[in-house]
Each structure stands twice: as structure tokens, then as C-alpha cells.
Amino acid sequence: MRRLKDIQMELSTDEVREILSIALGEDREKAMAFIRDHLAKKVDKKLQER
């Protein structure tokens, strides 16, 4: 696992829309897919930056 640190990242309008849709619904599979396919990749990329 990468060394953890505070990060900041931008979210696209589509990503914000998806997050709000997930928050209002109860589709756990959709939420996990979004985290895995979008947020986790962005977080990992930010952690690799110096």
C-alpha cells in the first residue's frame, strides 16, 4: 500500500452527479463500482505525485 497523505483532487461534473445519485439511492454495487473505477484510481494517482 502507498504511503498515505492528504490529497486534493478535482471531480468532473459527471462524477459529482454520480456521487449525488449514489448518495440518494441504495445501489451498493453501483457505489462500489464507482469507487473502484473512478475515485480509487484518482486517489492512487494523487498519492504517486510528489
Counted domains in the chain: 1
Q: Would you say residue 8 lies in a domain?
A: no
Q: Would you say residue 44 lies in a domain?
A: yes
Phi/psi class of residue 7: alpha, beta or left (left: φ > 0; alpha: ψ in -120 to 50)?
A: beta
pLDDT at 1: 61
* Residues 16-32 pLDDT 10s: 999 999 999 888 899 99
Greater pLDDT, 43 or 50: 43
Q: Would you say residue 41 lies in a domain?
A: yes
Q: Would you say residue 1 lies in a domain?
A: no
- For 40, the domain range is 13-48
Q: Would you say residue 3 lies in a domain?
A: no
Query: Residue 50: pLDDT band by 50, 70, 90 thresholds?
Result: confident
The mean of the pLDDT values for the chain is 90
Q: Would you say residue 22 lies in a domain?
A: yes
For residue 33, give Cα distances in angstroms to 3, 4, 8, 18, 39. Answer: 24, 22, 21, 11, 10
Q: Would you say residue 5 lies in a domain?
A: no
